[in-house]
Amino acid sequence: MKADLLRLPLECPSCGDLLEGIGTATRTCPRCDRSWQMSQGKWWFGGETSVVTGDATDSFKSRLKLHPKLYTTLIDLISPVYPHWISERRRLRGRITPSVLAVDIGSGNTRIMDGVVNVDLMPYPNVDVVSDADRLPFASDSVDIVFSIAVLEHVPDPHAAVAELVRVLRPGGHAYVFVPFMQGFHAAPHDYQRFTRPGLERALRGLRVIRTESFGPTSGLVWVLGEWLAIPLSLGIAPLQRVLALLFQTLLSPLKFLDVLFRRMPGSENISTGFLVVAVKEKGSPPSVAGGSH
């Protein structure tokens, strides 16, 4: 099942008016008289015109991301991070139907589930809407489920991105927001900040937190230890440090499965690799104002 991109409830990123032309590949703003086309299977609302990469590891990752199934399997198996996301996908199975609009903001090239609309500032092949996270082209209160998975650390203004995420979510709609906590610097192409658990829960203003999942302390340790071992062993050669860090993280990565046990134990959240918050936009919320983040 693929989402019908021609029927997305899109609004003008300049003035916030609903765009006219639903069902066609051209949308026009009745107020600004600007229009947007769908081309190469995507709506283009800002973002980048081609895929931009950061350092060597990151450009290697970007190339891998062009093979999304392989990339997801590799990440689940050999990344330092415990793949808690597998059980979240299982919980969500059957919930994304043709009548449900689910949007993954900052998807990269990975489609986490069929039927999810992928939004990213990079025009990867699996991206449906090219847009910045702090000015989404979706109508206010129009989206049923929003995913923001390991994205807020990469945006320069995470509070503006959260405000947009909340604006487009309909009352009663759910947000799934994952942020890293104990993870090394990873540009994709930028890396600006980390959140603690309470920091993330507070940042999601306008949403009620239903549950927060800690992904576990061993994952954080594996990430950092791999980087640390590579510092002396690379003998001062920077590219070798990147390669060795990846190698050590991969070799150590089976340890992350300890987090099945450890992630709920006392003290583990102090060094958790990251947190997933599942939150709901309350039904009584006042209607969101278009462009409310500005």
Which residues contact Zn ion by CB under 5 A?
Answer: 12, 14-15, 17, 29, 31-32
Q: Helix %, strand %, coil % for the chain, to 5?
A: 35, 20, 45
Sheet with 143-149, side-by-side order of all strands? 26-28, 35-39, 42-45, 129-131, 117-120, 102-105, 143-149, 169-180, 274-280, 208-214
Nearer to Zn ion, 184 or 291 (CB): 291
> Between the CA atoms of 117, 118, 124 and 128, what dihedral angle is there, to the nearest 10 degrees?
40
Nearer to Zn ion, 29 or 276 (CB): 29
Q: What are phi and psi of 10, to 5 degrees?
A: -100, 145
HSE value, Cβ hemisphere, 13 Å, CA-based, for 30: 7
**Minimum distance between the CB of residue 7 and Zn ion, rounded to whole angstroms?**
20
**Minimum distance between the CB of residue 13 and Zn ion, rounded to whole angstroms?**
8
**Minimum distance between the CB of residue 25 and Zn ion, rounded to whole angstroms?**
18
**Minimum distance between the CB of residue 34 and Zn ion, rounded to whole angstroms?**
6
**Minimum distance between the CB of residue 5 and Zn ion, rounded to whole angstroms?**
20
Nearer to Zn ion, 22 or 66 (CB): 22
In whole angstroms, give the CA distance from residue 276 to residue 148: 9
In whole angstroms, give the CA distance from residue 118 to residue 100: 14
Nearer to Zn ion, 17 or 144 (CB): 17
**Minimum distance between the CB of residue 29 and Zn ion, rounded to whole angstroms?**
3
**Minimum distance between the CB of residue 168 and Zn ion, rounded to whole angstroms?**
16
Stated as kind and residue range, the H or E segment containing 175 is strand 169-180
User: For 184-237, where are the alpha helices, taking DSSP H only?
Assistant: 197-203, 217-233
Q: Judge contact between 196 and 271, C-beta under 8 A.
A: no
